[in-house]
Amino acid sequence: MVLSFAGTIAYITLTGRPPPPLDDVATFGFVPFVPLISAIVAVLIIGPALAWYLSRPLRHLRWALRRAAEGRFDTRVQPLMGGRRDEIADLAGEFDRMAAQLQQVTESRKVLLHDISHELRSPLSRLQAAIGLLRQDPSQTDAMVERIQRESERLDVLIEELLTLHRLEAPAGLVRERVDVIELLHAIAEDADFEARPLSRQVSIDAPGQFVTQVNGELLYRAFENVIRNAVKYTAPGTVVEIHATVSADSAQLVVTVLDCGQGVPAPMLEKIFEPFTRVEGGESVRGVGLGLAIARRAMKLHSGRIEAELRDGGGLIMTLCLPAAAEATNTGEEWSR
């Protein structure tokens, strides 16, 4: 009704035409009859229709939120929105993206828990078997004690890797400090080469200059160390693991490549090897818990970097790690200590 009056006044003002005599207009008291009927129609018909149009998607969202609270993250609201293109439809799309991420995280945690239970059960079973054999035949004390010590060390490494993986999933309070990453690489390469020599392998590094940036030194060390040690494990005897590090012209990014001469991995597994407890078929003879590359990827992601794998001509892998300078913490809720 207000719009009707405003439109009428605007029309009369702009056209200059005088309003009709009040005696010729049907009124209800002082209110003209036609705008009054228009207002009643708007209230009784258009109002409920508009309320239904706005409340229906909100009911869908409430239903979806209740299902998500029950842990049913496969719920999607966007298909129920029809052809809507308003803010409520955008909110439904955001809900679907949130539900998809929660579903992915939940499923990955289930798989991780299953893999952890399997990985813990194997050394524990061997420990129990060694203890049982030791009780039956005390003459095998030395062999069984060696086996128990080996399995205990494996459990210790597994637990340490799991704790590191957990820290990367919930990295609140991690300290960021100024670190020369090139110097860090030289230290890792020197230690890896020392350990590789008895295995008839070598590690060479080509990393000139400096790359000083704000990072968590411990996690970044673990990332590079895991990649380099993994290359040393799988490269063939008598070969060299090559490490190359280059800084971009504007010093905004460090690119590190690690090349080995091993058997490589099947092309479909180039992405899967970064998932926890993933092992390549034929690599059973190499000791490890399958968490090194997963830790490396999450540590690089935490520093806004990335890590990728590709097959090397002639056999082996090329691991590429890219680290930006002055990396800011990713949007995962962590708070960096200054």
Q: What pLDDT is recorded for position 173?
A: 60
Predicted TM-score (pTM) of this structure = 0.61
| CA 226 to centroid of chain Cα atoms | 19
Contact 258, 287 (CB under 8 A): no
Nearest partner of 309 among 321, 324, 292, 323, judged by Cα: 321
Q: What pLDDT is recorded for position 244?
A: 96
Task: Locate 190 and state its tokens.
Answer: 């020197």
Task: Locate 133 and state its tokens.
Answer: 């054999």
The per-residue pLDDT for range 217-270, each reduced to its tens digit, is 888 998 999 999 999 999 999 999 999 999 998 889 999 999 999 888 888 889
Judged against a pLDDT cut of 80, whether residue 12 lies above it is answered with no
Among 114-128, 147-161, 245-259, 314-328, the range of highest mean pLDDT: 245-259
Nearest partner of 215 among 323, 94, 97, 107, judged by Cα: 323
Task: Locate 117 and state its tokens.
Answer: 């239970």
Bigger pLDDT: 184 or 104? 184
Q: What pLDDT is recorded for position 124?
A: 85
* Least confident piece of the model among 24-33, 43-52, 134-143, 315-324: 24-33
Q: What pLDDT is recorded for position 219?
A: 87
Concatenated DSSP letters of 145-179: HHHHHHHHHHHHHHHHHHHHHHHHHS-TT-B-EEE
The per-residue pLDDT for range 269-325, each reduced to its tens digit, is 898 888 877 766 655 444 555 788 888 998 899 888 999 999 998 889 999 999 998
Bigger pLDDT: 96 or 285? 96
Among 44-53, 110-119, 327-336, the range of highest mean pLDDT: 44-53
Judged against a pLDDT cut of 80, whether residue 153 lies above it is answered with yes
Nearest partner of 99 among 74, 127, 78, 62, judged by Cα: 74
Residue 105: band (very low, low, confident or very high) from pLDDT cuts 50, 70, 90? confident
Judged against a pLDDT cut of 80, whether residue 39 lies above it is answered with no
Give me the active site residues, please.
Answer: 118
Nearest partner of 234 among 287, 273, 276, judged by Cα: 287
